[in-house]
Chains A and B, each alone.
Chain A
Amino acid sequence: MPALKVSGLTFSYGPRPLIQDLSFELRPGDFMCVLGPNGSGKSTLLRLLTGFMKPSSGSVRLGGLEAASIGPGRLARLAAYVASETATPYDFSVRETVLLGRTARAGFWRGYSAEDGKAADLAMEETGIAPFAERSINTLSTGERQLVFIAQALAQETKVLLLDEPTSHLDLKYKSGIMALLARLAGRGLAVAAVLHEPAVARLGCGKALVFGGGGKYSFGPAAVALEPERLAAAYGIPPDSPLLPK
């Protein structure tokens, strides 16, 4: 059974549909990048996948369940989402922030269990943030903070991990580090989908690609095919020999 199955997904903010009749599926172990021009609906797609926004028509199934018809508590145990940037004025510690990933599992009326603590510690080890577990998230660099929210998502122990631009604003070292981490997680059986801005970054481990071209055109398939320079050039409206495209 696919971890995530999207069929005939359509969504519009105004009269003109932003996403039209989109279908694809992710299996456990898939690492998919989502590419396309600004405003083509990539971030909206992720919010549709988690049920945060409701599609006009079509269906999103997470582990066999229709996303639009289940509440956020259950959804948070099926799919985790990492926003492109999360800011708060309050100085939560790294560990407190990661533990909040256990919200949907811990139940409201009691504290965190030993199991919750273990899941958080494991997620911090996995992402390499354990050394600053007690620091305030507001004292971290952008890259370190991104890792904290990835760890929070891992603590949710879901089968699907969705990330909105996890590598923007980051230097090359963090870009490659985060992509390697995501590829490793996919290798462990997670289905991972990440919205990315640069095709070159997508080459760091993505096995599948979903490319939004303008006008309701999508190409979905193995990364080697979907990320061919000619297809990308057409999607972004740039010359096929542009140095921005991967060779």
Chain B
Amino acid sequence: MSKNKFPVFIAVLAAACLFSLAAGPAGCSNLDIILNLRLPRTLAALAVGAGLGLAGALFQGVLKNPLSDPYILGTSSGATAAAVFCFLAGIERTSPVFFLSVFAGAFGATFLSYWLARLAGRLSDAALVLAGVAVSAFLSALVMLVLTSSGARSFSLFYFVLGGLYSVQPGVLAVSSLIIAAAGAVAMGRWRALDAMALGSENAYHLGIEPERERILFFTLACAATSAAVAIGGTIGFVGLMTPHIVRRLTGPSARGLVPAAALGGAAMLAAADAAGRSLFSPAEIPAGIVMALAGAPFFMWLLWKSSRGRN
């Protein structure tokens, strides 16, 4: 079913890339600006968007919860907090220690949300969202506390926390892209387990899946993709939430088509969002994180409204 829809995603992705390469106050006549400023930035948007879209599809499947995404579960906040502490500790942004710390922050925050939600007994969609909000709020407050009390470098860090794609380092972009591609490849190989989990963990067990093991595997993949995305662009929300919902309409719910489509769709969405942020209010520039929140928060409200009316 999904195979003949694939060209649609490629076309959308190509359009978003063109938009991103052409948008900006300098117009599109200056080749130097296009190649040296907009191209790296477009590549960064593609990588971050793909990572977040992928993570969203994995979380929504493995948790059987259409409201989950790395932003809402606290994964992004965990990664951002870890990244900020690394910056303040003077750890190089391309070092393995940096990537490992950011991953650990993402994974820790996600499991904390999951564990908190499970405390209430049966895992409900609402409990997971509430736990994620609590964990995110606490981590964000912690980051703000550190930023406001640390002085000197805090202005660039503040922009990192807001989520944006200004200062892309080629090394970070390369490592992050590799991590996201690897996470996507493993997830695509195990699409059947993800589908079984989307019917609930007890059903998955009886189909021959080990639910605890798959949960840890898919959390790991989603957290790796999220932390790689955060390493490039800071906290950018709602890409992971919106993309799977939109692409599911074309591919159907099976992870076989959904996982690659969510990565492509997320890449296209963030490239377009970043380009819109650069061009709509020019010469002022709106960070991609804010553009996504402006679009994503109403989308989340619509999802909540829809799920409160029964079937999603």
CA distance A78 to B307 in the complex (A): 37
CA distance A72 to B205 in the complex (A): 6
Query: By the criterion CB–CB under 8 Å, are A103 and B253 in contact?
Result: no
B210 in complex: contacting residue of A72, A80, A156, CB < 8 Å = A72
The number of chain B residues with a CB under 8 A from chain A is 28
Q: Which residues of A contact B248 (CB under 8 A)?
A: 90-91
Nearest Cβ on chain B to A65's Cβ, whole angstroms: 15
Query: By the criterion CB–CB under 8 Å, are A72 and B208 in contact?
Result: yes
CA distance A220 to B307 in the complex (A): 45
- Say whether A159 faces chain B, with CB atoms less than 8 Å apart: no
Q: Which residues of A contact B193 (CB under 8 A)?
A: 103, 108
Query: By the criterion CB–CB under 8 Å, are A92 and B195 in contact?
Result: yes
- Say whether A77 faces chain B, with CB atoms less than 8 Å apart: yes
Nearest Cβ on chain B to A198's Cβ, whole angstroms: 24
Q: Which residues of A contact B192 (CB under 8 A)?
A: 100, 103, 106, 108
- Say whether B206 faces chain A, with CB atoms less than 8 Å apart: yes
The number of chain A residues with a CB under 8 A from chain B is 33
CA distance A52 to B207 in the complex (A): 11
- Say whether B5 faces chain A, with CB atoms less than 8 Å apart: no
- Say whether A93 faces chain B, with CB atoms less than 8 Å apart: yes
- Say whether A76 faces chain B, with CB atoms less than 8 Å apart: yes
In terms of DSSP, what is the predominant structure of the interface of chain B? loop
- Say whether B105 faces chain A, with CB atoms less than 8 Å apart: no
Query: By the criterion CB–CB under 8 Å, are A103 and B311 in contact?
Result: no
Tell which of A32-40, A81-89, A169-177 binds the partner: A81-89
Given contacts A103-B209, A106-B192, A108-B189, contact A91 B202 (CB under 8 A): no
Nearest-neighbor residue (CB-CB) of B311 within chain A = A138
* Residue of A75, A83, A100, A152 with most partner-chain B CB within 10 A: A100
Nearest-neighbor residue (CB-CB) of A155 within chain B = B207
Nearest-neighbor residue (CB-CB) of B1 within chain A = A93
Query: By the criterion CB–CB under 8 Å, are A90 and B66 in contact?
Result: yes
Q: Which residues of A contact B203 (CB under 8 A)?
A: 83, 86
**Beta-carbon contacts of A103-143 to B below 8 Å, as 1s and 0s?**
11010110100000000000000000000000000100000
A–B complex contacts, Cβ < 8 Å, 25 sampled = A52-B202, A52-B205, A72-B208, A75-B206, A83-B202, A83-B203, A86-B203, A88-B64, A88-B199, A89-B65, A89-B307, A90-B66, A90-B198, A91-B248, A91-B253, A92-B199, A96-B195, A96-B253, A100-B192, A103-B193, A103-B209, A108-B190, A108-B192, A111-B256, A152-B207
With A50-B206, A52-B202 given, can you name 19 additional A-B contacts, CB distance below 8 Å? Answer: A71-B210, A72-B205, A72-B209, A73-B210, A75-B206, A76-B208, A86-B199, A88-B200, A90-B248, A96-B254, A100-B196, A101-B207, A103-B192, A103-B193, A106-B192, A108-B189, A108-B192, A108-B193, A156-B207
Taking Cβ atoms with an 8 Å cutoff, the residues of A that contact B are 50, 52, 71-77, 80-81, 83, 86-93, 96-97, 100-101, 103-104, 106, 108-109, 111, 138, 152, 156
Taking Cβ atoms with an 8 Å cutoff, the residues of B that contact A are 64-66, 189-190, 192-193, 195-196, 198-200, 202-203, 205-210, 248, 252-254, 256, 307, 311-312
